[in-house]
Amino acid sequence: MKLELGNFYVKDIVFGDKTFYSEGILTINKDEALNVVKEDEHITEADLFIVKPGDKVRLVPVKEAIEPRTRVGDGPVFPGVTGDLMQAGNGKTLALKDCSVLVVGKHWGGFQDGLIDMSGEGAKYTYFSQLKNIVLVADTDEEFEKREQQKKNRALRWAGMRLSEYIGSCVKDLEPEEIDTFELDPITKRSSDINGLPSVVLVLQPQSQMEELGYNDLIYGWDANRMLPTFMHPNEVLDGAIISGSFMPCSSKWSTYDFQNFPMIRRLYEEHGKTLNFLGIIMSNLNVALDQKERAALFVAQMAKSLGADSAIVAEEGYGNPDADFIACIVALEDAGVKTIGLTNECTGRDGKSQPLVTLDPKANAIVSCGDVSQLIELPPMETVLGELESLGRDGFAGGWAGDEILGPSVRDDGSIIMENNSMFCGDQVVGWSTKTVKQF
């Protein structure tokens, strides 16, 4: 499979009479863009804002991040979700870089939603403060979904994807400023020089532990809970085959933008043929019952061994219950003779003294930490809030609270906040963005 990603580097974003891209400036016709958003009759209110690094703006509840793209030769950016099912990872896709579409609820948030500060102390905790963002702030008439603690509002998420496709389409007839090419020969057809290098497989565990549909990450529109571990080409992940789900404490979540740009995949591509032989991706899953976790781990280990993997990298989306899948997978790989590194965050409690993962094993002796989800963050008021600040403490955010005997409420009367890192939108960035780690004293 050969994927060409054509890049257009956005230097600034403005509203104007038409949507177009020229010399680094992305101009958006706001009325046309909102018409795309409001194609869903469930959306009752919607507005668009442009926020940039350094702006004194706080966004909450943030539900999704998407990179604006368009597929050359027609076809949806997200096959099986925003259009007909088709193969992702082949051909040419055009992307507007250094920007994203952020989806923010106008009122209600939930367990899986997060916060972004575009400036100040809070900006360092999330990658998206570095981007120029087109922010969709919207509400719907769906009472159940607005208040159901763990389910993101589907109408808003899909509106964000439609909006990103609409914006991305403005470059469909332009020549990209740069082209990134991603291509791997079939495993059995690679040269002896490449086959002589240490072979590596990347094992991804996207959010898939909810047995009820509507919560989990989707793979080609298919709920990831319904799959068994599956071998995938890395190009598929980079090219829209996966969208983010809606059940996960927010700092642990992988947004759709993260899947589209997955730094770990790009890094393995950079080393392919130089220091390693990148075999591809085993897309695993997260389960509820112990036997399901063990079964998935055995599938992963058998697949890695059959592919000839000398080593593996395992990355989990989330923590808590998924830790059992994460460790089981590492242990099964090690038992199969595949040297394995794990990528995860930790939940060590506010004092840092709790067990970092729910399950541990001596064989999981090479884990890269992306920081503690329970770390307390205290932030001053922000000049502008897009969304509803009260949702942080009111609506069951994983890192927010309505009241605490010692700390008081997450949202104070003056607009300052105190929360756990859990509420920072995609703050742990296990996919490879993270600059955080832990210190041992």
Residue 48 pLDDT greater than 70, yes or no: yes
The pLDDT-based confidence of 146 (bands split at 50, 70, 90) is confident
Residue 437 covered by a domain: no
The pLDDT-based confidence of 152 (bands split at 50, 70, 90) is low
Q: Smallest Cα–Cα separation from 320: which of 101, 111, 84?
A: 111
Residue 151 covered by a domain: yes
Dist CA 405 CA 8 (whole Å)? 50
Strand 222-223 to 218-219 pairing: antiparallel
Distant-in-sequence, close-in-space partners of 181: CB < 8 Å, separation ≥ 6: 2, 3, 4, 5
Range of the domain at 177: 2-423
Number of domains in the chain: 1
Residue 431 covered by a domain: no
Residue 119 covered by a domain: yes
- How would you label 2-22 residue by residue, b for 16+ Cβ within 10 Å and e otherwise? ebbbbbbebeebeeeeebebe
Dist CA 93 CA 182 (whole Å)? 12
Residue 213 covered by a domain: yes
Q: What is the residue whose two structure tokens read 């969304």?
A: 387
Residue 130 covered by a domain: yes
Residue 318 covered by a domain: yes
Would you say how long the chain is, in residues?
441
The DSSP secondary structure of 269-337, one letter per residue, reads HHHBTTTBEEEEEEE----SSHHHHHHHHHHHHHHHHHHT-SEEEEEESS-SHHHHHHHHHHHHHHHTT
On whether the CB atoms of residues 170 and 14 are closer than 8 A, the answer is: no
Strand 91-97 to 2-9 pairing: parallel
| Chain segment 223-261, per-residue pLDDT in tens | 999 999 999 999 999 999 999 998 888 999 999 999 999
Q: Which residue has the higher pLDDT, 152 or 83?
A: 83
The pLDDT-based confidence of 404 (bands split at 50, 70, 90) is very high
Residue 434 covered by a domain: no
Pick the range with the lowest mean pLDDT from 110-114, 135-139, 297-301, 361-365: 110-114
| 313 Ramachandran zone, left/alpha/beta (phi>0; psi -120 to 50) | beta
Query: pTM for this structure?
Result: 0.96
